[in-house]
Structure 1
């Protein structure tokens, strides 16, 4: 196997060590330079291998359990996991097994396990995709699965897990004519206006990227701005704005946008994307809790558990454990209260989270309605093309789930509500 294959696989193993062993997200590792020494093709391969392995982690472990009396150290286990996923996806056994043995042999702490790795992977290769495919769809860890089952029932959660396992297509939001974008790139024009591609390749080399004709944004994430329905020339406050997809939507609609986020690094990405798309917004690195003013329209994409993005970020269930949920719930309530205080009478506020947990969506809005007697939900604002009435919730919000649009490739989990000050 070429050395490039070994390097990409070694980096994939490192990423797994960080996620599973250190509780770090893939995005954090990559931003910190974990893949910087690799060539572009190698970086893409390493990231794909890590993501595929995290999606199929339960299946990989079940395959390996048949051939191991006890689990080896984490790094060796992750070498076996990456190789098992590759083998069971139909990869060439010779190169995959040799790379795994080479990675283990290059480390003084694991060199003694070369023979074990070779023997186990030969057995996995013999079983192949047939043994892999009869295993159940990987389940979410208990810390997140149990509250989801309580909220939606076991059958619905299994459908979500299937969507997570299958991964996500690439959704794009057009700066201008969405029909022209679809004709340019192919794919599917969704009813909500996003253009969906199943096989995109390298995003930065796609037609229209450098010209800023579009940006990557999951179809569900594009809906909150449509619910807010910004008007040309209208002043809009966006809280917790990074990574900026909604900022660009607001600016493309002609609104005068003040976008606030506390993360300086992520706001630099927003600035870069605005420059690429030739859109304008006032960017402020600051705390949404201390923001002041009076606004006709506010978009609050509150800090949340991000559990709605697992189909695109399979590292999240393995890097987190839910221990920070209580703090997030309190922060969401405080941020929503401050935003409502800044809303002018007759103004509208869209509250949204990329979370599957009702505590971060439905319950937050129910509690806010109880705290603020002059606030009510605007259900009519949710009636958009492509939105199913069955997705509306009792308190007047909209619940989106990964298993919705299953025949089209699914969507991120989101909660969206439009609140109006009377």
Structure 2
């Protein structure tokens, strides 16, 4: 009897893969199988991790799992992607001969197990045993079950000795990503790359009394006015103030674009790419009459739900930004444009594996088209705030420079560095905002850094 059949014969019929899933051959096996499948989708098919893990429309291998298994799969995938090149280098160090070119499924099994052994608080024995069972239950990998067992046991024995050296000599991310980062941030690239491998803290935008909420939640107040907390053991929705709509989760850097308007109270402001609604909420909280637009009905519904919890009243429109018509215009336009999201790699470590330089070039063209249209929506004397969460100047500084060259009536209204003590270096000589993950340093790396963002205020003469 094969190992897989033996495991099934011994399994308890009450052990389930999830609320709606099939009986699990061994507790925890379905979670590892899901992690391998989703890791393959990211690294081989360039699928978005957010999409795969979406609770409503994600991959069934994930959505059919129970809550605890979902948490484990998410942790495995985030750790595996943050350290993928190191994990691969460690695996390759331990094999006598390179893995066969066609053994992609085998490598995913090894990556998932290695992420647990090297970076997660999972017993080595459990990670090895489940990886062997997973290999033995897959016809593609069954003949490699012995290799999986031997390699992972050796990894567990030698990780303390080998991991520091392998980490030091192995680039953390794909070459294209590191090369562009070093070109754009020569003085800060090493610090940025180092912090991108650390799980991020959680930033909250609060309605009022940031110091009070920082004390209540055990956090600290940032120069942006955000409250930063460590990652809680349970869901963020279980923290004090969530149900009452006293705050929302929003990276400190993401809170800056809405703060760039010189005036909001009583003005008509449109947020062109609004979902999930963090910036929309800031605008409404400041007293603006906000029109929030998004081209996705699902995302717009999520925005409405978020604003309802926060008790904020906003007009919403289901439309593409470039299709919005407003004959009377708006006092202010916020265009937080779709981008490569390379500034959020710390939160979304799949991005270096799902995006390419061609994507950056394509998205820069999309942003330029959106910016050209956004400029037509601004009333005389109004302000246009453009932003995105890309680290790449092609999507930020260079794209805006091209816009200004083609539209000589428009210019940059410089941001005032004194508004954000401690973030003065985030203001460029031209008055743009440029944050990167190595800013906001802290002795505890879990409380340091922020997303990479570009933002600028444009006005028409």
| TM-score, length of structure 1 as denominator length | 0.95
C-alpha distance in 1 between matches for 2:436 and 2:318: 31
Alpha-carbon deviation of 1:230? 4.6
C-alpha distance in 2 between matches for 1:106 and 1:10: 10
C-alpha distance in 1 between matches for 2:109 and 2:138: 12
**Which secondary structure state, in structure 2, belongs to the residue aligned with residue 324 of structure 1?**
helix
Residue 20 (str. 1) matches residue 9 (str. 2) = no
Residue 71 of structure 1 aligns with which residue?
99
> After the TM superposition, which residues 255-274 of structure 1 pair with which residues of structure 2 at under 5 Å, given as runs?
255-274=288-307
Residue 53 of structure 2 aligns with which residue?
30
Post-superposition Cα deviations, 1:208-230, rounded to whole Å, max 9, x if no partner, equal 22222211111100111111255
Structure 2 counterpart of 1:139, from 156, 164, 172: 172
Post-superposition Cα deviations, 1:159-210, rounded to whole Å, max 9, x if no partner, equal 1111110121111111333223222211111121111112223112222222
Post-superposition Cα deviations, 1:299-354, rounded to whole Å, max 9, x if no partner, equal 11011111100010001111222322232111111111111122122111111110
| Structure 2 unpaired stretches of 5+ | 1-6, 8-14, 16-25
Alpha-carbon deviation of 1:248? 1.1
Kept after mapping to 2: 8 A contact 1:57/1:138: no
Residue 281 of structure 1 aligns with which residue?
314
Kept after mapping to 1: 8 A contact 2:396/2:454: yes
Structure 2 counterpart of 1:42, from 69, 85, 89: 69
Kept after mapping to 1: 8 A contact 2:360/2:395: no
What is the root-mean-square deviation in Å for CA atoms of aligned residues?
Answer: 1.9
> After the TM superposition, which residues 213-232 of structure 1 pair with which residues of structure 2 at under 5 Å, given as runs?
213-232=246-265
C-alpha distance in 1 between matches for 2:48 and 2:158: 32
Q: Which has the larger radius of gyration?
A: 2
Alpha-carbon deviation of 1:394? 3.8
Residue 216 of structure 2 aligns with which residue?
184
Alpha-carbon deviation of 1:387? 5.1
**Which secondary structure state, in structure 2, belongs to the residue aligned with residue 48 of structure 1?**
helix
Kept after mapping to 1: 8 A contact 2:391/2:452: yes
Q: Which moved more, 1:389-398 or 1:403-412?
A: 389-398
Runs of 4+ in 1 over 6 A off after TM superposition: none
Tell me the matched-pair count.
Answer: 421
> Kindly tell me: are residues 403 and 132 of structure 1, through their superposed partners in 2, closer, same or farther at Cα, counting changes over 3 Å?
same
Residue 243 of structure 1 aligns with which residue?
276
Structure 1 counterpart of 2:30, from 1, 4, 7: 7
Kept after mapping to 2: 8 A contact 1:362/1:395: no
C-alpha distance in 1 between matches for 2:228 and 2:65: 29
C-alpha distance in 2 between matches for 1:83 and 1:74: 14
Residue 374 of structure 2 aligns with which residue?
339
Structure 1 counterpart of 2:226, from 194, 203, 214: 194
Residue 129 of structure 1 aligns with which residue?
160
Kept after mapping to 1: 8 A contact 2:415/2:427: no
C-alpha distance in 2 between matches for 1:311 and 1:156: 16
Structure 2 counterpart of 1:206, from 228, 234, 239: 239
> After the TM superposition, which residues 309-348 of structure 1 pair with which residues of structure 2 at under 5 Å, given as runs?
309-348=344-383
> Kindly tell me: are residues 229 and 99 of structure 1, through their superposed partners in 2, closer, same or farther at Cα, counting changes over 3 Å?
farther
Kept after mapping to 2: 8 A contact 1:228/1:381: no
Alpha-carbon deviation of 1:37? 1.4
C-alpha distance in 2 between matches for 1:418 and 1:4: 54
**Which secondary structure state, in structure 2, belongs to the residue aligned with residue 166 of structure 1?**
coil
Structure 2 counterpart of 1:165, from 186, 197, 201: 197
